[in-house]
Structure 1
Amino acid sequence: MNFIQGEPRSRTGLLLWFFAQWIVIPLWLALRTAPATVLMLLDHQGMKGPGFGASAVLKRAVGPGRLRREWSRDGGLWEAHLDRKLAELRSELDRLARHPGSAVRWDGQYRPLAALPYWYLTRDDFGTLPLDRILTAGQRAGLPGWQPAGKTVQLRNVHHQG
């Protein structure tokens, strides 16, 4: 599968979203939780209530660090961010090598290590860095074997059972 290089966001759109998100995201979360709250208050006996989908919306949030990286369009800032992300992954893999039955934390979620066939890096991790710089950063972190996978870059999990 070929790697799809992303274009940087327009600075106008980035700045608009950075300020609008402080209104849009809480409003969206309030609108998503309102039906569940009403059903709870009415003592609804349904099997499953409406989902909140908070994680999907919160992933769109742009914090000050990300705003700085995207605004500057400096590959060095993205590379430093990717190096930190890979160092975090490296420490998780070292910990898991010592305790293979444990769960892994990646992107804020805990999952059994054996359930993950690949580790993924997305545009949130590498911005608009070219593929060769992403792969070089993986080599530098002691994590060779990254491969392009559409809009993401993936590394096979050597502990995957399945």
Structure 2
Amino acid sequence: MYGQHTTPTGTPLTPSAGPRSKTGLIIWFVLQWIWVPLSFLGRLVILPFITASDLLTDGRFDAEVLRVLFRPVTRWVGPARFAREWGTDPRRWDAHMNRLCDVALKAYQEQRQGAGSFHGWTYLRYGSEGNALLISPKDYRGLPPERIHAIASSRGLVARSGGPFGITLVPATGWRSNLL
């Protein structure tokens, strides 16, 4: 089911994290109420040291530090995500992938309008790899690669491997020219 499916350039998509076990989902849903806040607070405590180190070594603040701070928050399983991961209805995963594509399209539109690079919550939540929005494997764990390609292409995007970090969604019009 999660075999080596390829992108239009022939490179395999990064496999999803696979469906989570129901037991694991329940355990995480309960433990997250303790772990995520503690992890966030711990990262908040070390943030000034990381920032100072960053400023002392290269003289500028790197936004990646904020991504490290908010990483525990991205692991949060809210009611919608819980329902999506608990059930076996592929329509919920399709709807979620459509939302991810909408986020990607909005980010590219803002980038084209002069923002330069990804910014705000989109960058903190998803990150980027060069000019491409990076989607973590846990965000498409219920979708086989052929569905990812079908949904992305229906929205004018191309999904390609982002290495071990997930997949990238790039506009189909820019796929051949400047994103290879």
Same fold (TM over 0.5): yes
Alignment correspondent of 1:96:
111
Task: Count residues with an aligned counterpart.
Answer: 148
- Residue number among 56, 65, 81 corresponding to 2:96 in the alignment: 81
Where 1:27 maps in the other structure, the secondary structure is helix
* Structure-2 separation of matches of 1:79 and 1:108: 20
- The residue number in structure 1 matching 2:12 is 2
SS of structure 2 residue aligned to 1:100: helix
1:91/1:31 Cα in 2 relative to 1: closer, same or farther (>3 Å)? closer
Structure 1 portions without partners, runs of 5+: 40-46
Is residue 96–residue 104 contact of structure 1 (8 Å, CA) maintained in 2?
yes
* Counterpart mapping for 1:31-50 below 5 A: 31-33=42-44, 47-48=52-53
Root-mean-square deviation (CA), in Å?
Answer: 3.5
Structure with max Cα Rg: 1
Check 1:100–1:150 CA distance in 2 against 1; reply closer, same or farther (3 A cut). Answer: same
Residue 147 of structure 1 pairs with residue 160 of structure 2: yes
**Closer, same or farther in 2 for the Cα pair 1:107/1:129, shift >3 Å?**
farther
Identity level (%): 25
- Please say if residues 146 and 153 of structure 1, whose CA atoms lie closer than 8 Å, have aligned partners that are also in contact: yes
Deviation at 1:130, TM superposition (A): 0.8
In 2, the alpha carbon distance for the partners of 1:138 and 1:54 equals 29
Indicate if the aligned counterparts of 2:160 and 2:169 stay in contact, CA closer than 8 A.
yes
Relative to its length, the structure with more helix (as a share) is 2
Q: Does residue 12 in structure 1 map to residue 27 in structure 2? A: no
Task: Tell me if structure 1 keeps the 8 A contact 2:17–2:138.
Answer: no
What are the superposed Cα offsets for residues 112-133 of structure 1, whole Å, 9 maximum, x if unpaired?
Answer: xxx8332222224322211111
Q: Is the 8 A contact 2:134 2:168 kept in 1?
A: yes
| TM-score where L is the length of structure 2 | 0.64
Q: Which residue in the other structure is 1:126 paired with? A: 140
